[in-house]
A = this chain, B = another copy of it.
Amino acid sequence: MPRDPDPPAVPTFSDVLVAHDRIRRHIHRTPILTSATFDRMVGAELFFKCENFQKAGAFKVRGASNAVFGLTDDRAAKGVATHSSGNHGLSLSYAAGRRGIPAKVVMPRTAPEAKKAAVRGYGAEVIECEPSISSREAALADLVAETGAEFVHPYDDPRVIAGQATCAKEMIEDLGALDIIVAPIGGGGMISGTCLTCSTIAPDTQVIAAEPEAADDAYQSFKSGAIVAYDAPQTIADGLKVPLKELTWHFVSTGVSDVLLASEQEIVDAMRLTWERMKIVIEPSCAVPLAAILKNRDRFAGKRVGVIVTGGNVDLDKLPWL
Contact = CB atoms under 8 A, between A and B. Distances in A.
Q: How many copies does the complex hold?
A: 2
A319 B315 CA distance: 13
A53 B278 contact: yes
B321 A317 contact: yes
Contact of A316 (B50, B53, B272, B278): B272
Contacts of A316: 272, 275-276, 319, 321
Contact of A281 (B55, B279, B322): B279
Nearest to A317: B322
Interface string A118-130: 0000000000000
Interface of A: 31, 33, 36, 50, 52-53, 55, 57, 272, 275-276, 278-282, 312, 316-317, 319, 321-322
Given A279-B281, A281-B281, 5 more contacts: A53-B278, A53-B279, A279-B312, A316-B319, A319-B319
A278 B31 CA distance: 13
Which of A31, A272, A279 is most buried by chain B, counting CB atoms within 10 A of its CB? A279
Nearest to A50: B279
B322 A279 contact: no
A175 B128 CA distance: 46
Contacts of A317: 321-322
Nearest to A309: B279
Nearest to A275: B281
